Structure 1
Amino acid sequence: MDSATGLCYETYGDRANPPLLLIMGIGTQLNGWDRGFVDGLAGAGFFVIRYDHRDVGLSRRSDGTPDLAAIRRGDLRTLPYTLDDLAADAVGLLDALGISRVHLLGASMGGMVAQLVAITYPERVLSLCSLMSSTGDRSVGQAHPATMELMRRPAPATREEVVEAAVERSRVLAGSGFPFDEDAARSRAAVAYDRAHDPAGRLRQQAAAIASPDRTVALRGLRVPTLVVHGSDDRLIDVSGGRATANAVPGALLEVVDGMGHGIVPGAWSQIIAAIRHNAARATGDNR
């Protein structure tokens, strides 16, 4: 835990290597980045940092219960913070670690936050990878109806119910091109519950994502090497969101992983890591 930012973080690899900051999605703790994937990134030559956003895991907590319906209507009076605030948190963590410039990898909502770091703090960014994310344009990247129905189910109450609901979500969101590992999904859900289960914090993060405006115009102004990675079978954020992101950023590379859903499956790790490494190699300047 960093005392200045109130954010819990972990680092992997040689600090002499170029830093890579991993930014996760709504309600997902730092261990949502599978350790095997993290080790693969470190082995590819990065100094890897993963952390808990505010309101998740072991990081600091906010207060209040947002009115999601009102926020969707544009009434932001109950909005506790924005994705811009989460982007500022990420930069604050870099400051605390003494890192001036960084490669960014953001997944889902974390992709949106990573985009905002690149938009707002371009001098801090060496390269950007937006993974299974979107631009904020509501005409693209929308969830499939069956997925929305699943997400709107009443919140489970007990540890067992929470874990089983997480396994069911993982199964629904898994793509058709890779085997679904139920035991691994159940283990991840149990570890996450026991480490820090906080549904209220997830709601506050969800509110920030709902209130976030379309970033398309701002993305067109980016001049940082950018990679967009998306699964062809993503049923939570449709692949159209990834395509729109790549179309918005000048010179962006698009890597569509055939058969991958909303998740970073082990069978795609080598492809994704190779694409990230290739994009990072397009960056110039001080890697520290």
Structure 2
Amino acid sequence: ALESRDPDLIYLCLLHIHAKRPKDEYSQVLKKYPAAAAQYAIYCKEHNKRMLEELQVSGNYLFIIFEHLSKDPTEHSLYLAMGHLSSAKEAKADLDRKIASLEGAERSLKMAGVDDNALVNIAIQKQILMVQKELEKTHQHLNLIGKPLKTTLEMLIPLDQAAADKIARELKFNEKFYTRMKAVFLASNAKYEELDKMLSKTKRNASLAPDQIIKIINDSGNKPEAEKWLPRCQGRTKVKAHINLKDFVQAATVAHQLGDFDLIAKCHKLAQQAGDTAQANEITSRYAS
């Protein structure tokens, strides 16, 4: 079919392979014969959009396919960028390939004239990869290359919190989310003094509300320790704190003191959803009228 250069024959051959052979074999054929894949892409663009979508996740031969899809320079550059990004994703722990693919995507996006946000995101991804490369010099067993920044920080916090803090700061990781990650680690390891100290030093915009801290500690399996934070809760925050402790009757009591009957109903509903019939019935008996 390739020798004949007949697009219909190429399409029919590949369609037959797609229908009759295993998916891996179909992918291997496309990788082995990129010219066929390109012709196939042209045909699919006009006649079979669903098949075209399958081609667009093919990675290795994506660039060749996209070269034939569009004569418009901007569209062409965007297709190439998509191909590079797909290749970067496929590279997994192959650092050199990831960096090269991201740089290719960066060039293509610049040619397409996209807004700066996309370029900033790629620059951040490259920066994360370089940080991971440095970290693996001392923490090789973690296999960090290619992992999301969140996962990298979660893995690093137990080993080197100072390094994790530095990376989170330099890469502008969400401060509140990072505070929560550290709080979860400290609570799960019963390091409550360190947790209190960390939270007292946390900047206001990154701080956690007391009811959130109660949930983190309670979820770690230490309800008595979580309850120590109750005096720091007021108003609706106290209702949420009791809900996080699964103390639905107490939550309803505080809601009643606030005169918030919708909140009482919510406490009742949450007790039912938790399968706590006793608390649900108690709330009903107290506040049903």
TM-score by length of 1: 0.22
Query: Which of the two has greater strand per residue?
Result: 1
Q: Which has the larger radius of gyration?
A: 2
The structure, 1 or 2, with the larger RCO (C-alpha pairs under 8 Å, 6+ apart) is 1
Query: Which of the two has greater helix per residue?
Result: 2
TM-score by length of 2: 0.21
